[in-house]
Amino acid sequence: MLWKSIAVLLLLLPAQTPDIHYVPTSPGVADAMLKLAGVTAADTVYDLGSGDGRIVIAAAKKYGARGVGVEIDAKLVATARKNAESAGVSDRVRFRQEDLFKTDLSDATVVTMYLSTTINLRLRGKLQRELEPGSRIVSHRFLIGDWTPGAEERLEGTNIYLWTIPR
């Protein structure tokens, strides 16, 4: 009986909403992000706020990497899984419906994101704690506080920034 009461209460709780709304990264910028990070088949790429899955799908399809998409929106997660299946890479990628602030990033060798300056800054400590030295972080458009990028590129009117966790 207690479990039934808890289940009913959980249904009454409001659904978790994203801190930022999904805006897709163009295929050209997504590929440039992966190139800037030097993604190879040895990498595991995590995309925070993965939307329809295009970045981790591209990492798997073009570079042979493994990928994990982290997305809070259940509909986008379902779309990403379908897209991975259609692209023939569902054995190399997975999509998690999770809060990116709570996701364990320790398996990532590359983290990609198109979030916001504020969210990137909130993620900074987590990235430093959970990523191994040598791991790369690529951000479409937004910096991470006062971190100086190790490389940057401009494409399609937007900036792409790269940082490497120090050894």
Rounded to two decimals, the pTM is 0.89
Residue 125 lies in domain: 17-164
- Which tens digits make up the pLDDT trace of 105-153? 999 999 999 999 999 999 999 999 999 999 999 999 999 999 999 999 9
CA distance linking residue 112 with residue 55, whole number of Å:
8
Check: CB of residue 72 under 8 Å from CB of residue 94.
Answer: no
Question: Which amino acid would we find at residue 42?
Answer: A
**Strand duo 93-97 + 44-48: pairing:** unpaired
**Domain-located, residue 90:** yes
Quick one: residue 157, left, alpha or beta (phi over 0 = left, psi -120 to 50 = alpha)? left
Please indicate, yes or no, if residue 4 is contained in any of the structural domains.
no
Give the number of domains in the chain: 1
In a domain, 11, yes or no: no
- Does pLDDT of 3 surpass 70? no
Q: What is the pLDDT of residues 14-73, one digit of tens each?
A: 445 555 778 999 999 999 999 999 999 999 999 999 999 999 999 999 999 999 999 999
Q: Is residue 130 part of a domain?
A: yes
CA distance 45 to 122: 20
